[in-house]
Amino acid sequence: MTPNEFLEILHTAERLKDTLRHCTTSSGRIESVAEHSWRISLMAMLLKNEFPDADINKVTEMCLIHDLGECFTGDIPTFAKTDSDRAHEDTLLGKWVDSLPQEVSRHFSELYAEMNAQNTKEARIFKALDKLEALIQHNESPLDTWSENELELNKTYAFDTVAFSDWLTDLRKEILAETVNKLENE
């Protein structure tokens, strides 16, 4: 990879700093996709000892690149994203990934295929962290920033995704306790 190719990848990825998400921060500021990706990457790093049989570096890589398609489409909340939206994002992301230097393109393609298949522990950890971070962020954000459907969704979302891991299931239960406390006391 040449320095120019390296910079072009970074220039595209920089768009995620300005791509806003549905969630807000604890101060009520709308967060960016880059902020979400950073935090799930931190979450992965912190779980190294909880999942000693998993390749946490790979999980972190998945966390870092998982929303790069939103450079081209913007963020659509999971509860509003259609199959057509997903297909459009996948097409645009695929074209971009195919245009990257061969070694980067191959590595990204392998990671995306593994994330999509959800057949490895690493892919399942990544998917769980992606969903759990959104729940954590909602619990940190002011209740008046939640959409009406999230009042119930935040109680039920992602339990199926964490079911493969006792530790992540316990984390999901702790997040639920925070949600219930927030709903009862705010």
CA distance 40 to 164: 18
Query: Given pLDDT bands bounded at 50, 70 and 90, which one contains residue 78?
Result: confident
The mean per-residue pLDDT over the stretch 127-133 comes to 97
Contact, 140 vs 26, CB < 8 A? yes
**CA nearest to 27, candidates 145, 184, 133, 186:** 145
Whether residue 77 has pLDDT greater than 90: no
pLDDT digits (tens, 9 = 90+) for 132-170: 999 999 999 999 999 888 889 899 999 999 999 999 999
| 22 has pLDDT over 90 | no
- pTM of the entire structure? 0.95
